[in-house]
Amino acid sequence: MTKPPALTALAKEEEFGASILPHCHRQTQLLYATEGVMRVRTEFGVWLLPPRRALLIAPGVTHELTMMSKVSMRSVYIEPHSDVGHVDGCKVIEVSDLLRELILALLREPPDAADSSNGPRGEHLAQLILAARPPPGGRVRVHHA
């Protein structure tokens, strides 16, 4: 049985005031908006995410979103078998220019590109995204509103 790709990505456009009802994922989610501001609510707090910030959400954490403006949302789902390290709860990180471009490049790849059986490009993008995340001491902590 083959493992799923280490990362998958999803792009979604949302209108001002749109909501995404409470839900959770089996993977770690890196939630990011290239444009607009999202409000994310979890049991751990509430965060406002402008374009230079992303929220790492641990597997199984229920979260809901409200769009505070028109939003270009980008999500990266990180499989538990990847070497991303353990995430407790939610952590805000700064999105560097490099991380932003890597996320956008992964979204331009075919959906299964990060699977090593489909060639090295997608797998390399996935490894670079995991490596481009700031170290634990480098994250930006934003207290809930």
| CATH number of the domain that residue 65 is part of | 2.60.120.280
Q: Do residues 57 and 91 touch, judged by C-beta distance below 8 A?
A: no
Sort residue 127 into left (φ over 0), alpha (ψ -120 to 50) or beta: alpha
The reply to whether 118 falls in a domain is yes
Q: CB atoms < 10 A from the CB of 142, how many?
A: 16
Residue 38 included in any domain: yes
Three-class SS of residue 15?
coil
Domain span holding position 47: 7-135
Lowest mean pLDDT across 24-38, 64-78, 86-100: 86-100
Which tokens is 86 given?
């353990």
Q: What is the pTM of this model?
A: 0.80
> For residue 142, is pLDDT > 60?
no
64 domain residue, yes or no: yes
User: Is the residue at 141 inside a domain?
Assistant: no
Does residue 143 lie within any of the structural domains?
no
Residue 113 located in a structural domain:
yes
Token code pair at residue 17 = 């005031």
At 19, the pLDDT band (50, 70, 90 cuts) reads very high
CA dihedral defined by 24, 26, 29, 31, rounded to 10 degrees?
A: -30
- For the cut 60, the answer to whether the pLDDT of residue 28 exceeds it is yes
Which pair of structure tokens corresponds to residue 132?
């481009």
Angle between helices 97-108 and 120-132 (to 10 degrees): 150
Domain count along the chain: 1
Tens of pLDDT, residue by residue over 29-75, are 999 999 999 999 999 999 999 999 999 999 999 999 999 999 999 99
